[in-house]
Amino acid sequence: MKGMSPAPDQRSSVRFRVRYAETDQMGVVYHANYLVWMEMARTELCRLRGISYREMEQRSGLHLVVAEARCRYVHPARYDDEILASAWLESAHPRMVAFAYEIRRAAGGVLLATGQTRHLFVRGGKPVKIPEEYRQVFGLS
């Protein structure tokens, strides 16, 4: 952990282009890829807040298990669109954290999808309270 004090409204953003392999027969991005893009933004958010998933797993054996995922599709993304996926910490509790997301077309900022994921803190396959060393990273004091 880098010892930073993250802002509660801090957002991450990742920018990338839609690959042909991410589209379906109609040339539209296959729906499950939005969840992958959310994961990319969430992973970057954790880095911005001072911890990488890999470091957390290796140092403490702590994992964030997806308990719930939601995605609302607003407009389709298509091959070669430049995408901006953003994530922020929506809420946190001693055993669970929720992230919110926006997926936009970079050109013009058209909203493509919104989403939310909720994660349990797990060690050894069992839910646990978040260890003290990670509480600030996830907005708990």
pLDDT at residue number 5: 41
Looking at the domain assignment, is residue 43 inside a domain? yes
3-state class (DSSP) for residue 140: coil
Task: Say which CATH number the domain at 57 has.
Answer: 3.10.129.10
Name the pTM for this structure: 0.90
Q: Where are the beta strands (DSSP E) in 10-123?
A: 11-17, 62-73, 82-93, 96-105, 111-123
Q: What is the pLDDT of residues 54-91, one digit of tens each?
A: 999 999 999 999 999 999 999 999 999 999 999 999 99
pLDDT, position 141: 74
Inter-axis angle of helices 53-60 and 33-48, nearest 10:
70
2 belongs to a structural domain? no
* Known catalytic membership, residue 24: yes
Give the residue numbers spanning the domain of 129: 11-135
Within a domain: 93: yes
Q: Is residue 129 part of a domain?
A: yes
What sign has the CA pseudo-torsion 62, 54, 91, 100? negative
Query: Which positions of the chain have pLDDT values less than 70?
Result: 1-9
Question: CA of 103: how far to CAs of 74, 85, 108, 118, 136, in Å?
Answer: 10, 4, 12, 17, 26
- Tell me whether residue 6 is in a domain: no
Q: How many structural domains comprise the chain?
A: 1
Domain assignment present for residue 16? The answer is: yes
Catalytically annotated residue among 9, 24, 80, 81:
24
- The answer to the question of residue 3 being in a domain is no
Structure tokens belonging to residue 98: 């929720």
pLDDT of residue 7: 54
